C-alpha cells in the first residue's frame, strides 16, 4: 500500500506526465538501450521508430498516475501488459533495470522539477506496479508451464505445412519437435516466434493462432509486410517467414498468451459479432471455428473488410462454414471494387460501418470482437458505443502496442481502454 503523501504526490504529477509523457518515454528507451543493451532484444525496434511503444508506455504511466488511488480500474490494462510481458519472457530480474532507467529519465527530463519527494514517490509507486505485474506474470508462467502440453520459455517447432491463403498471406502449420501434446489455447490468443537477427541477436514477434484449439498443430497466418512506402524497409520477420522458412524448418515458439479471446464455455446466448479488417481476421477465425463447433445454436455474424479479393484470406473457409451453419451470417466489404466474378449478395464496397452492422445484427445486445488497423478499430469502437453497446461487450486487439481509440480531449491523459 502507498502512503497518503505518496498518492498525493503521484496524482499531482499526472498533469506533468500528460504534458511530457512521450518525451519522457522516448528519453527512457534511448537511455535503457544505451545503459542496458542486454534488454534490447526484447523490444521490436520498429515500435520505437514509429513511436507506438513510447505512446503505449506513456499512456500506461499516465493512467497509473491518474488512478493511483483506485488501481482496480486498471485491471484490464494490467492483464494486457502481463500477457504481453510473459509472451516475450520478461522476468522479475528485468524490473529493477527498467525502474532505474525510468527514475533517472524522470530526473533528466524534468530537471529541477523532479524534486527528491517526487522521485521517492515514483520509486515507491513503480515498485508497487512492478509487484502487481510480477505477481500476475508469475501466475501466467506457472499456468503455461503446468497445463497439459504446456512448456516454459521457447521450444523448437517444425514447420510441417506452408499454405498460401492470398497474394500476401501465408499460413504456417507448426508441430513441437519433441512430438509432445499441444496445450488447449483460448481462441483469439497468440504465440511468440523468436528468430535470429544481425549481430548474433534475436528478435520476437507475436502471431495469433488462426486455427481452432485441439488440433495436432498450431497454425499462424502471416501477412508479408512490404512497408508503407518504397523507401521504408520491408518488415523483417514476416518477409523471413514468407521467403526463407520452408517445410522442415525449425522455429522457436513460446506458449500461447493474450487476453483477447472467446470464452466458449460461456453459456449466454447473445449473438456473437466478429469484425475484421485485412489480416485482423486471424484471431477472429480461430474464434469462429471454435464457436461454430462449441455453440452451434448461437447466432454469429462475421464481417470481413479487405482491400480486394486478391488480398483476402480464408474466404473459402468462412463460406464453407456459412453453408453448413444456418446461424452464421457473413458479409465481405471491399475497399477497392467488388469482385466481378462473384454473384453473391453478401459483398459490398466500402468500409465496415454501423449501418452495415445494424443491417446484420438482430439486436445491439451482442458480443462484439474486432481486430484491424487503428483507424478501423477507432471507428467501430465509437460507432458501437454511440449505439449504446455496453463497453464490457466490446473487445478488440491491436497487432502491436496498444494505441488509443479515444478522441483525446485537450489536456487529458490518454487512458487505457
Ligand X SMILES: Cc1cc2nc3c(=O)[nH]c(=O)nc-3n(C[C@H](O)[C@H](O)[C@H](O)COP(=O)(O)OP(=O)(O)OC[C@H]3O[C@@H](n4cnc5c(N)ncnc54)[C@H](O)[C@@H]3O)c2cc1C
Q: Which does 234 bind (CB under 5 to 8 A by kind): ligand HEM, ligand X, none?
A: ligand X
Under rule CB under 6 A, residue 194 binds ligand HEM? no
Q: Which does 154 bind (CB under 5 to 8 A by kind): ligand X, ligand HEM, none?
A: none
Q: From 88-96, 235-243, 289-297, 349-357, give the range in contact with ligand HEM by CB under 6 A.
A: 88-96
Q: Which does 60 bind (CB under 5 to 8 A by kind): ligand HEM, ligand X, none?
A: ligand HEM
Close Cβ partners of 126 (under 8 Å, ≥ 6 residues apart): 99, 102, 103
Question: Order of strands, edge to edge, in the sheet holding 272-277?
Answer: 347-349, 328-334, 300-306, 272-277, 367-371, 394-397
Nearest C-alpha neighbor of 399 from the set 62, 137, 44, 151: 44
Q: How far apart are CA 75 and CA 397, in angstroms?
A: 16
Q: Which of residues 198-227 bind ligand X (CB under 6 A)?
A: 205-208, 220-223, 225, 227
Rounded to the nearest 10 degrees, the angle between the axes of helix 95-110 and helix 4-35 is: 100
Under rule CB under 6 A, residue 402 binds ligand HEM? yes
Among 6, 13, 25, 53, binds ligand HEM (CB under 6 A): 53
Least distance in Å: CB of 122 to ligand HEM?
11
Q: How far apart are CA 395 and CA 371, in angstroms?
A: 9
Q: How far apart are CA 218 and CA 247, in angstroms?
A: 14
Provide the b/e sequence for 14-25 (b: ≥16 CB within 10 Å).
Answer: bebbbebbbebb
The residue number with the shortest CB distance to ligand X is 235
Least distance in Å: CB of 93 to ligand HEM?
9
Among 135, 149, 233, 390, binds ligand X (CB under 6 A): 233
Helices (H), 41-171: 45-49, 52-66, 75-87, 95-110, 116-146
For ligand X, how many residues bind (rule: CB under 6 A)? 29
Radius of gyration of the chain (CA): 22
SS3 assignment, position 276: strand
Under rule CB under 6 A, residue 62 binds ligand HEM? no
In order of 26, 52, 236, 268, 414, the CA distances from 49 in angstroms are: 10, 8, 14, 43, 20
Active site residue 79: no
Q: Given the complex with ligand HEM, which of 271 and 283 has the nearer CB atom?
A: 283
Least distance in Å: CB of 208 to ligand HEM?
13
Helices (H), 210-280: 236-244
Under rule CB under 6 A, residue 234 binds ligand X? yes
Q: How far apart are CA 44 and CA 90, in angstroms?
A: 14
Least distance in Å: CB of 2 to ligand HEM?
14
- Which one from 29, 64, 126, 137 is the annotated catalytic residue? 137
Active site residue 95: yes
- Write out the residues near ligand X by the rule CB under 6 A: 44, 46, 49-50, 190, 205-208, 220-223, 225, 227, 232-239, 258, 279, 282, 397, 399-400
- Write out the residues near ligand HEM by the rule CB under 6 A: 39, 42-44, 47, 53, 56-57, 60, 80-81, 84-85, 88, 90, 94-95, 98, 126, 129-130, 133, 401-402
Amino acid at each position: 500500500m502507498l502512503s497518503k503523501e505518496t498518492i498525493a504526490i503521484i496524482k499531482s504529477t499526472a498533469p506533468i506526465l500528460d504534458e511530457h509523457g512521450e518525451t519522457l518515454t522516448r528519453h527512457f528507451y534511448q537511455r535503457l538501450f544505451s545503459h542496458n543493451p542486454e534488454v534490447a532484444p526484447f523490444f521490436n525496434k520498429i515500435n520505437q521508430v514509429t513511436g507506438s511503444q513510447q505512446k503505449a508506455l506513456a499512456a500506461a504511466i499516465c493512467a497509473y498516475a491518474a488512478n493511483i488511488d483506485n488501481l482496480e480500474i486498471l485491471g484490464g490494462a494490467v492483464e494486457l501488459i502481463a500477457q504481453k510481458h510473459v509472451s516475450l519472457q520478461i522476468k522479475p530480474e528485468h524490473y529493477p533495470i527498467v525502474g532505474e532507467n525510468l527514475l533517472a529519465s524522470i530526473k533528466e527530463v524534468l530537471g529541477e522539477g523532479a524534486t527528491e519527494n517526487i522521485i521517492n514517490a515514483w520509486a515507491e509507486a513503480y515498485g508497487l506496479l512492478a509487484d502487481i505485474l510480477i505477481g500476475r506474470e508469475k501466475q501466467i508462467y506457472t499456468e503455461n508451464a503446468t497445463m497439459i502440453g504446456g512448456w516454459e520459455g521457447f521450444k523448437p517447432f517444425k514447420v510441417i505445412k506452408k499454405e498460401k491463403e492470398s497474394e500476401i498471406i501465408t499460413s504456417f502449420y507448426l508441430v513441437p519437435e519433441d512430438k509432445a501434446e499441444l496445450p488447449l489455447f483460448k481462441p483469439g490468443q497468440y504465440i511468440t516466434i523468436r528468430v535470429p537477427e544481425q549481430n548474433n541477436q534475436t528478435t520476437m514477434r507475436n502471431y495469433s493462432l488462426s486455427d481452432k484449439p485441439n488440433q495436432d498443430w498450431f497454425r499462424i497466418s502471416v501477412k508479408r509486410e512490404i512497408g508503407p512506402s518504397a523507401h521504408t524497409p520491408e518488415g523483417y520477420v514476416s518477409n523471413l517467414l514468407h521467403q526463407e522458412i520452408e517445410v522442415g524448418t525449425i522455429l522457436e515458439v513460446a506458449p500461447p498468451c493474450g487476453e483477447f479471446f472467446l470464452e466458449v464455455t460461456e453459456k449466454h446466448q447473445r449473438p456473437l459479432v466478429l469484425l475484421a479488417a485485412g489480416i485482423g481476421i486471424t484471431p477472429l477465425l480461430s474464434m469462429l471455428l471454435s464457436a461454430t463447433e462449441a455453440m452451434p445454436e448461437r447466432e454469429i455474424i462475421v464481417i470481413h473488410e479487405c482491400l480486394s479479393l486478391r488480398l483476402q484470406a480464408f474466404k473459402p473457409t468462412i463460406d464453407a462454414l456459412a453453408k453448413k451453419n444456418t446461424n452464421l451470417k457473413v458479409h465481405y466489404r471491399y475497399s477497392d471494387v467488388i469482385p466481378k466474378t462473384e454473384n453473391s449478395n453478401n459483398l459490398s464496397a466500402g468500409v465496415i460501418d454501423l449501418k452495415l452492422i445494424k443491417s446484420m445484427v438482430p439486436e445491439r445486445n451482442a458480443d462484439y470482437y474486432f481486430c484491424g488497423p487503428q483507424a478501423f478499430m477507432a471507428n467501430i469502437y465509437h460507432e458501437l458505443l454511440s449505439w449504446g453497446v455496453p463497453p464490457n461487450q466490446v473487445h478488440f486487439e491491436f497487432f502491436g502496442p496498444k494505441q488509443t481509440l479515444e478522441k483525446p480531449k485537450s489536456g487529458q491523459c490518454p487512458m487505457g481502454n
